[in-house]
Amino acid sequence: MSHPSILAKITGIGHFLPNDVLTNADLEKLVETNDEWIRTRTGISERRILKDPDKATSFMASEAAREALQSAGRQASDVDAIIVATVTPDFMFPATACLVQKEIGADKAFGYDISAACSGFLFALSTGASLIEAGRQKCVLVIGADKMSAIVDYTDRNTCILFGDGAGAVVLEPSSDGTGLIDFVQRSEGDTDHLLIQEGGGSCHPASLSTVEQRKHYIRQEGRAVFKKATEGMADVSAEIMRRNNLSAEDVAWLVPHQANLRIIDATANRMGLSSEKVMINISHYGNTTAATIPLCLYDWKDKLKKGDNLVLAAFGGGLTWGAAYLKWGGAK
């Protein structure tokens, strides 16, 4: 298939993780669960929590952005656009991207948020790449950040075991050497919106005493249905992106999957014909950081990546949304 003459490649990468750790043993004190049950069903042992009440998603996003810019050898003044993927914005508005722009001093940049839940970073990455491919922008900061602890109900054992806080960021710049974001497949299915949702706080159910009493401001998930959809969806689009680009399992250096559940990751890798040695997995220590999982994987593996490596990125989230991308690594520092 044909590709743009100018691609967008990752030239820098950064991350932020809070210092406070919430272990499975800690959760045993909050809800009826245990370490073995959580680990065998999800692969999670602990997750990071941003406990400081004065710090929100924009703080983590800004820290990750600063590190990404330093990695790329760029200044904040070089940034043309900031795209933040999040479902836990500091406010409904202004956009978290605008708060990041202020915090890092990117005085020439415009910014906006993307809400696609756990698929958010993947969707933001393709959006940022499209700006560069069109020749409109030269330096785009793409951030996935979520303070999930702000919307997790720690009396609900179905969801509180899954989520953690964190942020990851990448710098996108033009590439003419064939490296960069080559292809992506993205899907949405709005008629399954009820399977993974935060009902309160929007214009449908504005904040009120009633919405608070009904705990509508917390994330709610129909776990079994989402698990089935995610297992099928991530595997399908990952196989499709390989097929569209004539990639065999031998051609793929790494699968970079959303870190929601170890069994979903394994199913996707199996569908692609990949061994576990080719799969980035850090869910054990971070849990599901929603939009931050994929860039956090890229950060953790950055020293193992070689220029020209073929990466397949895959995610699934609320919406429902899911997608995959084919990225030829351009050699971020």
Residues with active-site annotation: 118, 258, 288
In the sheet that holds 140-147, the strands lie side by side as: 7-16, 165-175, 140-147, 81-85, 110-114
Size (the chain), residues:
333
Q: Is 291 helix (H, G, I), strand (E, B) or coil?
A: helix
Task: Return the number of other C-beta atoms located less than 10 Å from residue 25's C-beta.
Answer: 12
Q: Is 171 helix (H, G, I), strand (E, B) or coil?
A: strand
In the sheet that holds 254-257, the strands lie side by side as: 180-188, 321-328, 310-317, 254-257
Structure-token pair, residue 180: 């960069």
Structure-token pair, residue 284: 């054990």
DSSP letter at 24 equals: H
CA–chain centroid gap for 166, Å, is 10
Distances (CA, A) of 232 to 43, 81, 104, 228, 330: 19, 34, 39, 6, 30
Q: What's the CA gap between 215 and 199, in Å, rounded?
A: 9
Structure-token pair, residue 153: 């109900």
197: left (phi over 0), alpha (psi -120 to 50) or beta: beta
Output the CA torsion 16→59→265→287 (10° steps): 80
